[in-house]
Structures are given as C-alpha cells and as structure tokens.
Structure 1
Amino acid sequence: MVIDRDDDVIHTHTALAAHHPPSGRITLHPGPGTTSETGLAHDLLAALGKPPLLTGRFPAGRQPAWEAAMAWMTALPVTRLTVLRAHRLTTRRAMRLFQLQALTGIHLTLVCHRPHLPAALHQALQTADYSLTTDLDAARRHYYGRPIAEPPLADESAGTTGRWLTLPALERLISYDSPRPCIDPCTPPPIIWRHRPPPVPLTAHTTQKVAHRLHAATAHPRLAAAVVAALFTGASLQQLATARPRDYDTAAATLALHDRARYTDGCAAHPVPPWAGVFLRAAACFTRLVSGEDQELLAAPGDRAHLLRVAETAKLRPPQPPAARREGPVGRVEWDWRERQEAERYEAVPISRVRPSRR
C-alpha cells in the first residue's frame, strides 16, 4: 500500500511509467464515474491490451468480465499489478482485487492519494496482510520489482496489422463433420494423421503475429483459444467443441479432441506448441470459473458467428478463392471455399455406366 499524502503527480507518473505488460507489469487507472465491479474488470481488461467488452452468448445476459480478467491474469506472465486512485475503491471492488491476488499470486500495490485510508478501503484490508509506505523510492520498487531476465517480444508494427494473414490450417474451421464428445472417460492416444494431412507448423514470426492480433482482438479466452487450437490441430469447430477443461494436459502440453464416430482421425491428443499454451491456460481457467469441468473448453457450436468475427477482427483467414470463383461480395471472407472445392470434386466423379441387360 502506497500513501500519496498530497496527491503528487510524480506518484501517478511513476506508476504509469511502470506499465509494461510484456514485462509483467500492469498499472490500472480506474475510470471515473462508476463504482461497479464490472466496470473495474473492464478497466483491467483494457490495461491488459484487450477490448473491455466480451463478445459471445452468456446466461442471463451477464458478461463474465471478472472471470475473463482473472483468467488472463492467471495465464499471462503478469507478476505485478498497481492500482491508482485506490482511495475511490468500494469495499466490494477492493475485495475483488484481493481475490484476484489470491488466485494469481501477483504482487498487488494499491496507491491511495489521500493522507489516510478511507473507511471502505480500511474495511477491505481488515483480513489482508499488507504494509504501508509513503516513500517514492520504495513505491517505485513496488511498481517495477526486479527487472525481467528475458527481453519481451517486440510488438507487431502498426503498419502490418491491417494485412490479412492467410492460414491454411483454418480451412476446415467450419467443416461439416460432426464429432461428439465422449460420454465415458477417454484418454486418447497421440494423434496419428490417417485421413488428413497435419497442419503445417507456423513460423516463429507468424505465431508472434497471430498471438499479438488475437490478444488485441478479443477478451474472450475461449474464443481466442478456439482459433489458436484450430491452427495447430486443423480441426473443425465441431471437433474443437468436444474438448473439456480436463482434456488440456498442462504437464504433457497436449489437447485431446474427441471423435467417437471417427469422422476424421478418431479421439486423439494433439501436442500444444509453446506459444499456444497461454491461450489454453486462460480458456481452462475461464471455463472452470464460469461453468465448471463439464462445459466446452473452447467455443461451442453455437458460437460459430462470434468465433469467425474474432478471427476476422484479428485479420486471420483461410485461403480464398480466385476472383472468378467468389460467391460473396469483394472483401468478405469465404470460410467454406475448401468445402466447396471438395463438394465439386465429389460431384465431378463419373457415375459408373450400367451394363446393358442380356436378353
């Protein structure tokens, strides 16, 4: 806890200067004019570089903003959270932050720009283990902590974010296969690609672009993870929807997808590349917080429109048909081009001629 007795601008500037998510440091400056817990969650998502609103379908219309914020804070390498204007926090808002700290283990610093703690914050701190400081140098150490050992990844340049990334692994995202999740416990073997080729692994440069774009495109952990999973499995949304939180093995770094009827390659465990782990960890945490172990880890079949919108917002698409073969208006992504090609090849197979009868 930092006490800024005189509301000195140097305290605010120092805390804001420490904000650098790639280095694990978040400075949260809550927006004025609201005391709601959801509003604070939206501010936290924005501080993480995400859209504050979640797209998707939610029961009773309630956006699980806090669950999303907690999931991302758990999955991302965030180690320090500094909250400015802490004297304006209600007791419930402060308790939300303490719950976040308990779940993630982050170093939480509240900055109170008043000589004394207000009653609401004092009440929230009754059960917390904390220390007070008024010294700027000590406060700076709270904001920055130790320097990280590894340099953060460079952000994608602003000049390239408007270009489409064409990714063949997304060709089957809206495929018409219809696998179903296993009812009984299922421990699938490693994937053996029998009926379709494995997706080509993305280059390090491409994975960095994809991750950067998806982080900025949506705050919804499950939708982001579904796009990522499609890229390293080549699976359709129908098959991605068979995964449950228990199907993601963090220790083995595998994701199990199910296919009881063997529409594709049967139930199988897919290796999760390191860059994709943060998205699956966020999705698993989010799903457990919102709905439990028996719900979809990734997007559900009914989330198709939201999922495609997230991919298009991130400028990710499958290969597109040539101009002469397009069925939609120019500029619209045609997600079913691969399916149409396969249907045309099937229809082009000549029908066996019937032998004339002998009479």
Structure 2
Amino acid sequence: MLTCPHPPPVTIVLDPRDALPHTRTAQAAHDPATGRATIHPTIGTDSTICLAYDILAALGKPVPVTGYPRLDPTPPWAMTAAWILATPITHLTVLRTHLLTRRRLTDLLTLRERTGVHLALVCHRPRPTPTLEHALRAIDHRIAEAAAHLPGDNATNPPRPRRPLQDRWLNLPALTTFCSLDSPQRYCRCTPPLAHTRGFQPPQMPPATTAEVARRLHTATAHPHLAAALATAVFTAASDTQLATAHATDLAPHAATITLHDPDGLRHGCTTHPVPPWARPFLLAASYQHRIAAGGDTPLFTAPFPHTGLPDPTALAEACKLRPPQPPRKRPRSHRPASDKPPQETIWPLSNAHYRFPWAVMEDMRGCPAPPARHR
C-alpha cells in the first residue's frame, strides 16, 4: 500500500459565522494547476463514494466513474489519490466538514496519508464537532481561525481565454497504427536502447496541439490507465498490442521513459521511449494507481481492480476528438440539404506486420523517405 511516511499536520479552520467572504476566498483559491484544490462536499448523503467523486470533479475529471461496481469505494478513492500524486496538487481545502460523517472523515485522512497533501478542514462551528475531534484524536493537527487562514475576499479567478483548437477534431498521424491485428506479444524483461538509437523518430506535434491534447486527456476520463494508454500511443505511435506489453516496472522513475516490448520483431523491436513532459502525469497516475492497489508488476495500461467493462480506448479518443488522418469526404449531392448530411464516422485503420500504410503518413510518423514508385 502506498503511504506518505510523514504527512503534514491537518489544519482545522474555524468559521463559526459561515462568512461569505471566507467561502469566496477558499473557492477563488481553487486552481489545480498551481497545486490548490477546494472541495465543496455533496451534503445530505453518507456515501463515501460521493466524496471521492467531489474531489475528482474538482480536479476536472468526469464523474461518476463507470466500469466498476456502483457501491465499491476502492477504485474511486484510488483514482483520486493517483491523480493527486501525479499532478501538482499540494493543498486540499474541504468546506463544511462539520457535516461529514466519521466514514467520510476517515477516507479524507487516508487520502492524506497516501498522498501527503496539506489538508485544511473548514468547520463552520465555534469549535470542532465531536466527530471531527474523535477522527483527529491520534493525528497531528492544529486549529486556526478563518480570519487568519482565509484573510479576505481578495482573490478572483481570471476568465479563461478561448483556445484556438477548442471543439475541433485533431487528426494525429501517430494514431494510424493504434488498432492492430497483431497477435499478443509474449512478455519480455529486457532493457532495450532508446528509440533514437534505433532510428525511430517520435511523432511531432505543434505546441498548440500538444497543449490541447493534454488538456483533453485530463478532462475526458478519470481512469488513469486509459488516459496513459492513449497518451503513450500519441507520443510513440505504438499499437494496442505493443501497449499491452508495458508493465509497471517498464516505467522509469518520475516517468522519464517507458519501455514497449516487441520480442518477435513485428514492429520496431523492444524500444525505450522518452516520455515528453506533457504525458508524464498520465503515466505517473497509472503507476500510482497500480501501487495503491498493490498490483505488483502487472500490465501498466490495464485496470488494477475487478471491473464490469471499461470504455474502449478508441471510444476515449473519439470522445477527446482525436483520430487518425481521415480519407477525403465525398461531396454531398447538390439536391441534398446540408443540414441533412449525416455525421462522418471515424475510420480506424486495422494494421498488422504485413500492412504498409501510405508513405505520406509514414513520413510524418517516422521521417522515413518514400520508396521508388515501382514499390508503391
């Protein structure tokens, strides 16, 4: 079980008058990009799963989480801890903790022990409730007044600028080889060289596209292993069978590199790929989720908990509006109104070791020159 050896003390913030400026200050301080998150728990329920969903939603993840038993709290809390560990979150402020039950407070304190996050519990009472005092009886904590901890209503969130690629489909050549017909690869424990020593050039994306892909993956799913698999496919152009060969031990510390195995030589052979900075949080979250589940050296891009059916990676890519380059669309007939035109379905090429893609796409992916015309 993943634990933090010396978590920081818990701060109990007393706000007996439930002052609106203090609440606004706490909410305005919410900015996961700078390491601070403010949670307003769902009231009127004793469900510990709802509290995990509240934290995931504050981190920008869609909830509720699908694919797991509806009443099993273990996967949502493991995902919550994994995302906090993999992202810059260092401070977690929880409002209205005087309404939390003992079970929900215990889960919050367990999250603190796993992640080492600075936990601030805002209690809108003159003194901590008996439930809160009992939960913190054996835990290092301190009491602060709201006027000192939340000094005033002087923070505002600036409006978010519109992104140039917002709501647009992104055609990524790296995803052309994602759906594979190759047979599953046998497991290998080698330590292969870096990709550039094999002449493999990673797919290149403009900075604006890179930022947009990272943002969409962060907000499209709460499943770390699914986001990590799709991110890895984007920066390696790997197939789904290659991704299945990566185990937890194939990820280097701090997610600096990821090793994909190909002992049968169907693709590029066993290769170690450098992980770009934008993709490291996804792979770290997948790794932390496996460590929390005590899964051992299991496949990195699979769920570490029993599930009832998870989304397909291609469905996740389409939800993010990410797809391989598409064939040209047919022109609509002149007598057909434009509003009646059916939406175009995404075409995912099925590939295997004997299939050769269009050389224009291969040049974008690998930088290899086109062969003579007689070999096309």
Relative to the length of structure 1, the TM-score reads 0.82
Match of 1:320 among 318, 326, 329: 326
Equivalent-residue separation in structure 2 for 1:270 and 1:119 (angstroms): 53
Q: Distance in 2 between matches of 1:251 and 1:42?
A: 27
Q: Distance in 2 between matches of 1:132 and 1:252?
A: 38
Aligned-partner Cα distance in 1 for 2:119–2:169: 39
Match of 2:257 among 234, 254, 257: 254
Report Cα offsets for 1:293-334 as digits up to 9, x if no partner: 23221147x989521121111111110112249xxx742111
Aligned counterpart for 2:285 among listed residues 276, 282, 294: 282
Separation in 1, partners of 2:55, 2:320: 21
CA distance in 2, matches of 1:193, 1:168: 22
Secondary structure of 2:177's counterpart equals coil
C-alpha deviations, 1:3-22, integer Å up to 9, x for none? 11122222211211111111
Unpaired runs of 5+ in structure 2? Answer: 1-11, 332-341, 359-376
Return the offset for 1:123: 1.2
Is structure 2 residue 169 aligned with structure 1 residue 164?
yes
Sequence identity (%): 45
Q: Distance in 2 between matches of 1:223 and 1:251?
A: 19
Moved more, 243-252 or 167-176: 243-252
Query: 2:112 & 2:16 partners in 1: Cα distance?
Result: 25
Distance 1:331 1:104, change over 3 A: same
| TM alignment of 1:133-144, pairs within 5 A | 133-140=144-151
For residue 126 of structure 1, give the secondary structure of its aligned residue in structure 2: coil
Q: Which whole-Å CA distance do the structure 2 matches of 1:305 and 1:18 have between them? A: 34
AA aligned to 1:106 is V
Q: Which residue is equivalent to 1:221? A: 224
Q: How many residues align?
A: 328
Aligned in 2, Cα 1:256/1:89: closer, same or farther, shift over 3 Å?
same
CA contact (8 A) 1:192 1:265 kept: no
Q: C-alpha separation between the residues in 2 aligned to 1:199 and 1:188?
A: 16
Matched, 1:109 2:120: yes
In the aligned structure 1, how far is the partner of 2:197 from the partner of 2:160?
35
Shift of residue 157 of structure 1? 2.3
* Letter of the structure 1 residue corresponding to residue 90 of structure 2: T
Is the Cα contact below 8 Å between 1:191 and 1:268 reproduced in 2?
yes
Residues 62-92 of structure 1, C-alpha deviation per residue, up to 9 Å, x if partnerless?
4711111110000000111100011111222
Within 1, Cα distance between the matches of 2:246 and 2:171? 26
Per the alignment, in what secondary structure is the counterpart of residue 256 of structure 1? strand
Runs (4+) off by over 6 Å: none
* Alpha-carbon distance between aligned partners in 1 of 2:207 and 2:172, rounded to the nearest angstrom: 14
Q: 2:206 aligns with which of 203, 208, 233?
A: 203
Greater CA deviation, 211-220 or 46-55? 46-55
Aligned: 1:75 with 2:86: yes
- Sort the Cα spacing of 1:6 and 1:192 in 2 relative to 1 into closer, same or farther, 3 A: closer
Q: Return closer, same or farther for 1:26/1:307 CA change in 2, 3 Å cut-off.
A: same
Q: Quick one: distance in 2 between partners of 1:5 and 1:59? A: 39
2:240 corresponding residue in structure 1: 237
Aligned to 1:353: none
**Shift in alpha-carbon separation, 1:77–1:199, aligned structure 2, 3 A:** same
Is 2:179–2:350's contact at 8 Å kept on the other side of the alignment?
no
- Quick one: which amino acid aligns to residue 149 of structure 2? A
Higher normalized contact order (CA 8 Å, seq sep 6+, divided by chain length): 2
User: How big is the shift at 1:59?
Assistant: 7.3
For the structure 1 residues 252 and 292, does the alpha-carbon distance in structure 2 shift closer, same or farther, using more than 3 Å as the test? Answer: closer
1:168 maps to a residue whose letter is P
- Mapped to 2, the partners of 1:9 and 1:93 lie a distance apart of 25
**Residues 1:46 and 1:60: Cα distance change in structure 2 (over 3 Å):** closer
